A and B are shown apart, each in its own frame.
Chain A
Amino acid sequence: MPATIDLEDLGLDRGGHLLVERALRELPVGDELAVRGRDPALNVHLRAWARDQGHAFRDGSVVVRGSAPALRWAGAERAGGASPGEIVDHPGATWGVAARGALIETGGPSVHFDYQDRDLVWADLAPRLYAQAAANQWDPASAVDWDAEFTLPADVEAAVVQVMTYLVENEQVALIVPARFLGRIHPHFREVLQVLAVQAADEARHIEVFSKRAVLRGLPPGVSGAGGRASLSTLLEEPDFALASFLLSVLGEGTFLNLLAFLEVHAPDPISRRVTQLARQDESRHVAFGMAHLEHQGSLDPGLQARLRGAVERRHDVLMDTAGLNQGVFDALVLLAAGSWRPADIARGYHAVEELQQAMDEGRQRRLVRLGFPHDEAAALSALHTRNFM
């Protein structure tokens, strides 16, 4: 007596095959399933469906389970496990974009990703940083009171515009660099991709708010110096993930944390203070990921430090003959800290910018020491960092 299933009025053209498949899964290969139902086309469709699926068909309504469905999954393997603790060191080339932990049917195309080794991209902190980032996304339209009232002297407004213009060009690079690596990393390391994706989205918002503040009072954007762009272009050209993370996130964005903190204090209007505050919160996450990844990789690769050192030195050599920070940006920072053109105020502003640069240097040295550099070498490398800050 074969197993029996009754589809009632349900036809195979409306999902009846799901019930037949479910019933067949319970049977060993070669066993019979009698299919009953009231759909007038049931037997016509059942014959065609069974044939197509590799099952035998007899007596007008009996399906004999074939081996094809089981053969399809012969040799299938799990793509690691779902949780971050179950990622594998070297994901399979044919896993492609499959969900981590999914059962992978053998075959399919090999998809090449430049970064397929766990230790070249991973940081244990990545899942937590992504969760924080996802929870702390802010809406540029509502997070900033764009209608806040303030009045600035024309020179001070122009200084704000210049600083914002400078911030935008730096953030463009900070968007492009992680976005470029995003497509080169194996999706098995999902949380790393998520961190980079949010990082790019963060920068997109920063670009929006800095751009909006720049032109808020009707002035056109400020100037863009050749030296600054030369400095930023070296970041775009770095093809190695570890070195790019180091130059951009650890040294560049790390330095920017000080700059944004400076502007939170010295910016002359509430909107500028607010947008730099929002950006700084995001940037600190970017620095944290870069640090965590490099600490992870450094613990496994004794040669990493030498490569990091080489990257700083190479970049310094390339930029040696460029102007670095646009003079207009430097002057604008002094004026913002001074608040007026009175000599005493300018002196105070100049001193504040000097203190800013010293704080930037100290921050870089601290991070370099955390990455294992001796103090004297950290000081030397920090001094070679681009004068453009980023």
Chain B
Amino acid sequence: MILSADRIREMVQRKPDSDDDWFTITPVLDWRTQAKSGTSSINVRLGTRFRVPRRARLEALDHLPAAPAEVSYADDVRVDVGDYFVLHPRQFVIGETIEWVRFPRNMAGFVSGRSSWGREGLIVATAVVIHPFYAGVLALELTNLGEVPVKLYPGAQVAQLFIHEVDAPAAVQMPISMFMASAFPRDPDPLKYDRHVITRFRLDLLSAQRQKRATSSSI
């Protein structure tokens, strides 16, 4: 069941019975406009830091090698409230929310863009799911699919957070989370669980290609 804005506010403002039940969103700068009564989400605001990929230093992102090349492929840019970041057409950057969330064991959520921004071409989040016990700011994958540059102002309400209950609450033990003390996820490893399998496939493929080359050259 998706929680209403009123219910979200009520849950954030009550004192938790136990640490495992602690749900919070902090700071909410304006409950009145961010969690409008009668809606089923809370708007979240764009934060002050952006991670901007560099195109010049890396030929491609490759997560298959166990130790990827030690090349930083992004710059961190800070934009204070009152200033803006220009997102150009087809540009991709990672932003963050001002709000820091902490989910209890029986709640999960998902982030979605807001239609008013979407109509201008701004796509706000692609990795949208927040699992129980998550703690941190929300990373926003920002892309401008429109035809003209868009000015992004920190503090703007760019996305909405939907929250729902989980029918089988997570175990009391906290899972290892992608806790984001410094706003951005540490170098993510999207192939963490599958690397050995994909590597095996890749070795087989390379071996087959070598054999094929050897056969064709002997002919």
Q: Do A and B come from one complex?
A: no
Chain B residues in the interface with A (C-beta under 8 A): none
Chain A residues in the interface with B (C-beta under 8 A): none
